[in-house]
Amino acid sequence: MRKIEAIIKPFKLDEVKEKLNEIGIKGMTVVEVKGYGRQKGHKEIYRGAEYQVDFIPKIKLEIVVAAEMVEKVIETIANAANSGKIGDGKIFVLPVEQAVRVRTGERGTEAI
Partner 1 sequence: MRGKTYGLITGLTVLMSCGQAFSADGGGAIDTGTTCWMLTSTALVLLMVPGLAMFYGGLVRTKNVLGTMMHSFVAMALIGVLWTVFGYALTFGKSTLGGFIGWNSDYFFLKGIDDSIVNGVPEYVLAMFQGKFAIITPALISGALAERVYFKGYTLFIALWFFLIYCPLCHWIWASDGWLFNSGAAGVIDLAGGLVIHVSAGVSALVIAILLGKRKGYPKTPMLPSNMVMTMMGAGLLWVGWFGFNAGSTVHSGLDTARALTMTQVSAASGALTWMIIEAIIYKKATSLGFVSGILAGLVVITPAAGVVTPPGALFLGTASSIVCYMALHAKGKLGYDDSLDCFGIHGVGSGLGVLLLSFFIRKSWMTAAASANGGSWNSFDQLMIQLKGMGATILLAVLGTCLIYYIVEKSVGFRINEQKEIEGLDQSLHGEHGYGLVHSDFVK
CB of 45 to partner 1, least distance (A): 6
Q: How many CA atoms lie within 13 Å of 102's alpha carbon, on the beta-carbon side?
A: 0
CA dist list (Å): 55 to 34, 52, 111: 5, 9, 35
Please give the angle made by the CA atoms of 36, 39 and 41, to the nearest 5 degrees: 60
Torsion angle in degrees (nearest 10) through CA of 107, 16, 58, 94: 30
The answer to whether 86 contacts partner 1 (rule: CB under 8 A) is no
The answer to whether 35 contacts partner 1 (rule: CB under 8 A) is no
**Looking at 11, 26, 27, 47, which residue binds partner 1 (CB under 8 A)?**
47
Cβ proximity to partner 1: between 48 and 105 the closer is: 48
**Looking at 13, 28, 30, 53, which residue binds partner 1 (CB under 8 A)?**
53
**Looking at 52, 86, 95, 103, which residue binds partner 1 (CB under 8 A)?**
52
CB of 43 to partner 1, least distance (A): 10
Please give the angle made by the CA atoms of 72, 75 and 78, to the nearest 5 degrees: 150
| Contacting residues toward partner 1, per CB under 8 A | 44-49, 51-53
